[in-house]
Amino acid sequence: MKFIVSSLQLLKSLQSISGVLNSSNTLPILDDFLFELKDDSLVITASDLETTVTVNVPLTRAEEPGEITIPAKILLETLKTFPEIPLQFTIDTEVNAIEISAGEGKYKLAGHKAEEYPRVPAMDDMVTIQVPAPVIATAISKTLFATGNDEFRQVMTGVFCQLSPEDLIFVATDAHKLVRYRRTDMNAENAASFILPKKPLNQLKTLLAHLESDVTIEYNLTNAAFSFENIHLVCRLIEGRYPNYEAVIPKVNPNKLIIDRLPFLTSLRRVAIFANQSTHQIRLKISGKELVLSAEDIDFANEAKERLTCNYEGEDLEIGFNSKFMVEMVTNLDTDEIRLEMSEPNRAGILLPMNNENTAEDILMLVMPVMLAQY
């Protein structure tokens, strides 16, 4: 098994899939990359059993097809030291010996038998749709931060995807906050829904960051696959029934606050520094055209208060929120102005972008209130 490859091309390809690797694996073979040389094509795979990513690497020359696994850490560390030079790999698959020739240097390391490496699960009865990469990347970035971390509520650790002939919807919640991202300019022939795990979504978010082409999405009852450019990612779906998120979104919210996003965000960040570091409670007092943000940490005698002008329609209101959640949500809205809709101090608040330029994009963010401490 022999091939010649660009050092930087190989490094870039390996780095694009290395995020799947775990620092501690139950199977030692998962510390390796799987190299498969077929004709003049090199396919490299990384896997943690739940998520498998493959990348096709262009070669300068290839001969003697074969397959082997190569330890990921030592290979990546070695490649990072090279400038742009051709590397020749000479691999004896009988004894799993790998020799890398780079200029005047030769480097030898031991691989493992490829037969031991777990394979991509069989993908039967797949449904296929195509979605532009920027749409997927935006949907992930707008929802992923709202997913939960509670392993006892596994379904809430992922992003819920609803596909229908009318639209595509992505939802994430941890029971304290919720984000629903809808695209009315995208659809699927038949209705379907599934829950994508957090780790592969993080990988996709990175891989799709600057991509403009379409992503082919295939899914069945157990797996989903994403294909674009020279990368193919397969992940196991989270099993279980996602909570009825529509039921928790309050429909009647007579109190509506419209405010400039950036001044509101910077005030939130400043005032939050003075909040109790266990509750992160921040108080919003709204009356007329004035919003007063305040926080207090009695244990350390810390206190902050800021006044902002706003447009407000509704009764005077005092409501508390977790400042960390509010900052996350306002950060993930892009418009100059945002609208905060509320009904009562003990009911969820709804954050919405104002004057969104993309009329096909519908974003709703919900945050649960916290009980106000009296001071």
Per-residue pLDDT tens digits for 267-285: 999 999 999 999 999 999 9
Write the CB contacts of 331 (distance below 8 Å, at least 6 apart in sequence): 265
Q: Could you give the angle at the alpha carbon of 274 between the alpha carbons of 272 and 278, nearest 5°? A: 75
3-class DSSP state of 164: coil
Q: Are 92 and 113 spatial neighbours (Cβ–Cβ below 8 Å)?
A: no
Render pLDDT for 38-53 as a digit per residue (tens, 0 to 9): 988 899 999 999 999 9
The span from the CA of 145 to the CA of 172, in Å, is 8
What's the average model confidence in pLDDT over 279-294? 96
What is the chain's mean pLDDT, rounded? 95
Of the chain, the percentage scoring pLDDT greater than 70 comes to 99
pLDDT of residue 24: 86
pLDDT of residue 373: 62
The tokens describing 47, both together, are 């896997």
Q: How many CB atoms lie under 10 A from the CB of residue 251? A: 7
pLDDT of residue 314: 96
What's the one-letter identity of residue 37? L
Q: Are 183 and 139 spatial neighbours (Cβ–Cβ below 8 Å)?
A: yes
The span from the first CA to the last CA of the chain, in angstroms, equals 74
Render pLDDT for 194-233 as a digit per residue (tens, 0 to 9): 999 999 999 999 999 989 999 999 999 999 999 999 999 9
Residue 358: enclosing H or E segment and its boundaries? none
pLDDT at 249 over 70: yes
List of domains in the chain: 2-116 (3.10.150.10), 127-242 (3.10.150.10), 249-370 (3.10.150.10)
pTM, entire model: 0.93
The span from the CA of 296 to the CA of 375, in Å, is 8
pLDDT of residue 374: 58
Q: How many CB atoms lie under 10 A from the CB of residue 225? A: 19
pLDDT of residue 101: 97
pLDDT at 73 over 70: yes
The span from the CA of 364 to the CA of 316, in Å, is 24
Q: Are 72 and 3 spatial neighbours (Cβ–Cβ below 8 Å)?
A: no
Render pLDDT for 304-348 as a digit per residue (tens, 0 to 9): 999 999 999 999 999 999 999 999 999 999 999 999 999 999 999
Q: At what angle do helices 261-272 and 323-331 cross, to 10 degrees?
A: 150
